[in-house]
Structures are given as C-alpha cells and as structure tokens.
Chain A
C-alpha cells in the first residue's frame, strides 16, 4: 500500500455512483423523508481484528449517506498482497458494527471451514458497498 497507514485504517473510498430514489421515504418514526438515495462504491484498507475504522473517515457520511436504511458489503479481496479471492470452502463475509457511537467493519475470510477466521492484521482488504439511505449532501431543512 503506497502510503503510511496503521492497521485498521481505510485508505481509499471510491464512490462509483449515486441514484436519487424518486418519491418520498420515511424514517423509523414514519416521518416523510425526501432525500433517499442508492449509493455504491469501494473501500480499501488495512485490516485489524478490532475492525476497519470507518469512524476515522466520518462514519456512514464517508459512504455518502447520513443514515443507512439498508447496507450490503461484499469482500472482493483479502490477503497480505490484497489479491486473495474466495475459494470453495473459504468464502468472505463482512458486516458493519453500527452503534450510535461506532462504525466499524469486520470481515471473516474463511467462511465454510470448521473454524472461520478473520483476515490477519495488515491484510489489504477491498470491500464493495451498496447502501440505501438519506443523502448526506441533502439540505438540512428544519
């Protein structure tokens, strides 16, 4: 990786596109929200077992939404050189730990074995994301 980075750092977030969803949506309280979008892109970083630190990049806002209604993460590559792909009994799985204070991404890279494990610290991780949520660039009308 061509930059100084600590394990757990996200080095790159590439937004490939966003699409405004026509019509109003709602929040969990049923209030109408008119700024729903689909956003998708790619995250690269150095893994650490305490999770990829999305907080350090602004949390969900770094992915282009202020609130995520739905999100999906798929892991493209893991490994020391960032080129390892899934094989027959070593599939990848990623999830987002999203609390009111923390946004961390965790990965398992040996799903299908009897003892699934995380990537090693400093493994180069590439994850694609797809999110439906509220546009982070929408005006905040109060």
Chain B
C-alpha cells in the first residue's frame, strides 16, 4: 500500500432515487444516493480515488453531487480551531484535506495519517445495466 491509497470503502446506505436528467436534459433512469465511509492514508498530492475508478468508488457514475466529511485523522477529531475539511478534485479524482481550518496557519494532514471520511454521493448508479 502506498501513501495516498484508499484501503476501504464501506457503503452504509444506498438508495435508488429513480429517474432524473443529465446536464443536457437527457433522461437518466438510474439515479442513486449513496452514503459511506472511506479509509485512506494521506498524501499531499491527494488521496487517490482514481485508483478505485473515480466516481465508481462512491458507488456512482457521473458524479452529480459529492459531500465529504472528515470524521478523524488518526485519533484526532475535530477540535477548536482545528476543523478538518475535504474537497474532491473531479478532474484528477483526488481528495484533498486541510486538517486545521480555523487556525492561523492551516495545513494538510501529515503524510500517511489515516483519514476516516464519510461521504454522501448522488449520481448514476454504477451497477446499473448499460442500455444502448
């Protein structure tokens, strides 16, 4: 396992949301909402979601919406002036974390810190049959 690798993705809840649309208004009948938890080691270059297939790691294709919530970094939980926040780079399929937003000099987690991140994702069901 390399730094920045995801070691586990646990789906805690998954529900079909029925039909929807894509950006061009074309009908998509496989919308799904997924909640889950990612375990990974940190790397300044980002947590490598790309190694798990990008959006597929969250149980969806064509990620419509993704919210990340950092639960803990090693054994450190959110604290005064040390609020962790996470973003997802949709282009390169990486997760970035700032460990202590609220402090005077925010910083990334140290390399190889174990990151526990919950997510809520909406998109097209990754398991849906590909009808062409």
**Which A residues lie at the B interface, using CB under 8 A?**
14-19, 38, 40-42, 72, 74-77, 83, 85-89, 91-93, 111-114, 128-130
Number of B interface residues in the complex (CB < 8 A): 36
> How far does the alpha carbon of A91 sit from the alpha carbon of B46 in the complex, in Å?
12
Shortest CB distance A93–B (Å): 7
B91, A83: Cβ atoms under 8 Å?
yes
Output the nearest chain B residue to A41 by Cβ-Cβ distance.
Answer: B64
| Majority-rule SS of B interface residues | strand
**Which B residues lie at the A interface, using CB under 8 A?**
17-23, 25, 28, 31, 33, 44-46, 64-67, 85-92, 96, 98, 101, 104-108, 120, 122
A17, B31: Cβ atoms under 8 Å?
yes
Closest 10 CB pairs of A and B: A17-B20, A112-B98, A86-B87, A85-B89, A19-B17, A91-B87, A16-B64, A128-B65, A17-B31, A14-B23
| Majority-rule SS of A interface residues | strand
Output the nearest chain A residue to B20 by Cβ-Cβ distance.
Answer: A17
B101, A130: Cβ atoms under 8 Å?
no
B20, A129: Cβ atoms under 8 Å?
no
Chain A residues in 8 Å Cβ range of B104: 114
A89, B108: Cβ atoms under 8 Å?
yes
> How far does the alpha carbon of A8 sit from the alpha carbon of B77 in the complex, in Å?
37
| Interchain Cβ contacts under 8 Å between A and B, 8 examples | A18-B20, A42-B23, A72-B67, A74-B65, A83-B91, A91-B98, A111-B85, A130-B122
B64, A128: Cβ atoms under 8 Å?
yes
Given known contacts A17-B19, A114-B106, A130-B122, is B65 in contact with A85 (CB within 8 Å)? no
Given known contacts A17-B64, A111-B101, A112-B101, is B90 in contact with A76 (CB within 8 Å)? yes
